[in-house]
Amino acid sequence: MIRLKINGVEDEVAAATVGELLARRGIEANARFVAVAVNGTVVRRDDWGEAPLHPGDAVEIVRPLQGG
Amino acid sequence: MSSDPFIIAGTALSSRLFVGSARYPSQQVMLDAMAASEPCMVTMSIRRISLEGYAGSLVDLLGDRYRILPNTAGCVTARDAILTAELAREALGTNWIKLELIGDRDLLYPDVEQLVHAADELVRKGFVVLPYCNEDPVACQKLADVGCAAVMPLGSLIGSGRGIANPAAIELVCNRSPVPVVLDAGIGTASDAVLAMELGCDAVMVDTAIAKAHDPVKMAAAMKAAVAAGRSARLAGRIPKKSFAEPSSPQLGLIAT
């Protein structure tokens, strides 16, 4: 288990990579229109499976919503 | 090919109306309104995934029909706006971004200093940047100078429906801007959109005025007609304003009793 800040909320998660974290959150690797950043840097979709997570990392998981 | 093409960054756009996708009473009303307004672009926000609204698959619904323009709405720092743009590019596969950098949460007024900085950096990163900005010719020039593909000056405060508060300033921006001008924010009804186009704007962005109208679909159609009418009037060239009356009917042959 590592402690992460996920979308602004601290949480303990058993995930070693971005891909594992997304899977635990119910987001599949082929989920459309989802984007992820770790510590202010975008992690490209192709790299989700390999991108490592470290204790204290700040992860942003976003998608488009209605807007003006 | 249209005889009056509207081009941003080398891309010919299908109309001169941008619309938002927020604040509609329902998804179906939004889709019907967009079918009626025929926008060249539909704006969307980028938000954390836990904040799920009704728009569960909004991009699936809109993406095939309309060009999606993601925004950085709500960002108050250049750093967050830049990251939001990068996330939008990853999520939507577009390098176009409507750059919003807010300096006052109550007024939603742009923070010009940070806006120019963020625009400069995003252009360097390969983005096509359309900044929401003040109706200030100098600010607009600075944004064009750093490579923005268009400028989006505000007519009045976002969502206020107060129309174009300073038409003379918008006209100055239009006359001097080296890039297309898209009037953004403040449109309340169709005549505001007509005025924007008559003043020389290349396009108009509308969200609340359509979404919150009593009949959004009817207002959407009105906005489409307004943009077309205003553009035609601009191209036709209005008569100069005069201080005195000038009779329309002939002065000769008038009876006198």
Active-site option among B98, B142, B218, B224: B98
What is the total count of domains within chain A? 1
- Tokens coding B185: 């924010």
**Residues spanned by the domain of B114:** 6-236
- Tokens coding A41: 């840097």
CA distance B46 to B54: 15
Cβ–Cβ contact B126 with A under 8 A: no
- Tokens coding B133: 């900005």
Mean pLDDT (chain B) is 94
Q: Which pLDDT value is given to residue B60?
A: 85
Flag whether pLDDT at B97 surpasses 70: yes
Q: What is the CATH number of the domain that holds B139?
A: 3.20.20.70
What is the total count of domains within chain B? 1
Please state, for a pLDDT cut of 70, what percent of chain B lies above it.
Answer: 97
B241 is catalytic: no
Of residues B212 and B59, more confidence is placed in B212
Q: Which pLDDT value is given to residue B256?
A: 86
Q: Which pLDDT value is given to residue B208?
A: 96
Determine the length of chain A: 68
Looking at the domain assignment, is residue B244 inside a domain?
Answer: no
Looking at the domain assignment, is residue A67 inside a domain?
Answer: no
Q: Mean pLDDT throughout B212-235?
A: 98
Flag whether pLDDT at B54 surpasses 50: no
Give the closest-approach CA distance of A43 to chain B in angstroms. Answer: 9
Looking at the domain assignment, is residue B26 inside a domain?
Answer: yes
Cβ pairs bridging A and B (under 8 Å) = 100
Please state, for a pLDDT cut of 70, what percent of chain A lies above it.
Answer: 100
Q: Which pLDDT value is given to residue B193?
A: 98
B44 neighbourhood in chain A, CB within 8 Å: 64-67
Cα radius of gyration (chain B):
20
Looking at the domain assignment, is residue A39 inside a domain?
Answer: yes
**Residues spanned by the domain of A12:** 2-62
Neighbour order of strands in the sheet with B128-133: B96-99, B128-133, B152-153
Looking at the domain assignment, is residue A14 inside a domain?
Answer: yes
Looking at the domain assignment, is residue B255 inside a domain?
Answer: no
CA distance B215 to B77: 37
Contact B31, B61 (CB under 8 A): yes
> Which range, A7-11, A24-28, B52-56, B114-118, has the best average confidence (pLDDT)?
B114-118
Looking at the domain assignment, is residue B118 inside a domain?
Answer: yes
B22 neighbourhood in chain A, CB within 8 Å: 66-68
Give the closest-approach CA distance of A35 to chain B in angstroms. Answer: 5
Q: Which pLDDT value is given to residue B55?
A: 43
Looking at the domain assignment, is residue A17 inside a domain?
Answer: yes
Q: Which pLDDT value is given to residue A54?
A: 96
**DSSP category for residue A46:** G
Flag whether pLDDT at B224 surpasses 80: yes
Q: Mean pLDDT throughout B215-235?
A: 98
pLDDT band at B136 (very low <50, low <70, confident <90, very high): very high
Looking at the domain assignment, is residue B245 inside a domain?
Answer: no
Flag whether pLDDT at B43 surpasses 70: yes
Beta-strand pair B17-20/A41-43: unpaired
Q: What is the CATH number of the domain that holds A58?
A: 3.10.20.30
Cβ–Cβ contact B225 with A under 8 A: no
Looking at the domain assignment, is residue B11 inside a domain?
Answer: yes
Cβ–Cβ contact B183 with A under 8 A: no
A36 neighbourhood in chain B, CB within 8 Å: 87, 90
- Tokens coding B116: 């120019």
Mean pLDDT (chain A) is 93
3-state DSSP assignment of residue B103: strand
Q: Mean pLDDT throughout B63-73?
A: 94
Q: Mean pLDDT throughout B192-204?
A: 98
pLDDT band at B56 (very low <50, low <70, confident <90, very high): low
Looking at the domain assignment, is residue B247 inside a domain?
Answer: no
